[in-house]
Structure 1
């Protein structure tokens, strides 16, 4: 028996995931910035740049 797919439940799940990411990205960025200041490696700088780009994208509502 096939389960019917409801597109609106997927949209609701996507909105909840987006809201959760908006709340968690700033603490992760602060932690990553402190870590980058203490142990500056190429990977840390790339992760920090990705977090900052994500914050900018959320702020400008590109995502």
Structure 2
């Protein structure tokens, strides 16, 4: 028998996940910026760019 997911529980879980991401994106971005300054590589610059875009999208509530 297939069990159906409760949509309200699912939305609560996603909301909690988004709140955790909002809290952690700034420290990760700062750490990555320091790492990019000390040991620059293509991967570090790409990862820093992704973190900055995600942080700005959370700030302007695009996500």
Name the TM tier (shorter chain): over 0.9
- Per-residue deviation, residues 3-34 of structure 1 (Å, max 9, x unmatched): 23210100000000000000000110010000
Could you state the TM-score of these two structures normalised by the residue count of structure 1?
0.94
Distance across 2 between alignment mates of 1:3 and 1:31: 42
Q: Show structure 1 runs of 4+ deviating over 4 A.
A: none
Q: Number of residues paired by the alignment?
A: 63
Unmatched segments (≥5 aa) in structure 1: none
Distance 2:4 2:25 in 1: 34
Q: Please, what is the CA RMSD of the aligned residues?
A: 0.8
Unaligned runs of 5+ in 2: none
